[in-house]
Amino acid sequence: MSLTESLRAIQLFSLLSFVCMIYYAMQLSYDVLFVCGVFGLLTLLYALPVLSRKRNLRSFHGAKMYTIAIVWSGVTVLLPAIDGMLELQVDVWITFVQRLLFIIVITLPFDIRDLNYDREEINTIPKSLGIKYTKLLGIGLLILFFILEFFKDQLQYKNVFSICLISVLSAICLLASSDKQYKYYASFFVEGLPMIWFGILSLLYALLP
């Protein structure tokens, strides 16, 4: 396939994706669309230099990790709750904070990997604390992530067990990370942790009463 044909295929796929997006967006409530717009704007500010000619949210002190965590947590917790017309009660907000902590922790191996490659203006946690204390911070966040589960009104042992397992796996991945890690360590194994968590939770609900 020539380059021209490849570009045409990409353009056609993009057009079809845009049409599908418009169609499905029309099926959503205004509240959901508003929340999608907020998180979409954050994503745009993170990726593109719209704040100035050379700077986006990613280049501001500490904003990189927190923007990623807020968008991921919002899209996977708040957005489904609003779409399902659920009240944003304590359990929802605890889950949001837990997801926020989890995303921050699994982002740390990426920042450790990029420690010697990030531009100077991108100030990450490993740059500020060093690798050792970054790992200690991550372990502390995982402990808080696990403890928060016991503050929920609807406590289920399957969720507790799954969070315990994913916390241990995340801790192992964090402790094993370095600034000279294997090429696909963070981008495959660490990034696959959310899918592993989903698999653990699915198995528990499928096999246990």
Radius of gyration of the chain (CA): 19
pLDDT of 159 reads 92
Mean pLDDT score, 40-55: 69
What percent of the chain lies above the pLDDT cut of 70? 86
pLDDT at 116 over 90: no
pLDDT at 50 over 80: no
CB 201 within 8 A of CB 159: yes
In angstroms, how far is the first alpha carbon of the chain from the final one?
53
CA proximity to 43, closest of 57, 29, 28: 57
Residue predicted with more confidence, 94 or 49: 94
Cβ-contact 136, 175 below 8 angstroms: no
Query: Does residue 86 carry a pLDDT above 80?
Result: no
Average pLDDT, the chain: 85
What is the pTM for the complete model shown? 0.82
Mean pLDDT of 25-29: 84
- Among 71, 82, 64, 17, smallest CA distance to 40 is for 71
For residue 96, how many C-alpha atoms fall within 13 Å in the half-sphere facing its CB? 16
| Residue 61: predicted pLDDT | 59
List the helix and strand counts (H, then E) for the chain: 9, 0
Q: Which of 1-10, 94-103, 108-117 shows the lowest mean pLDDT across its residues?
A: 1-10
d(CA 154, CA 164): 17
Of the listed ranges 51-60, 94-103, 129-138, the one predicted with least confidence? 51-60
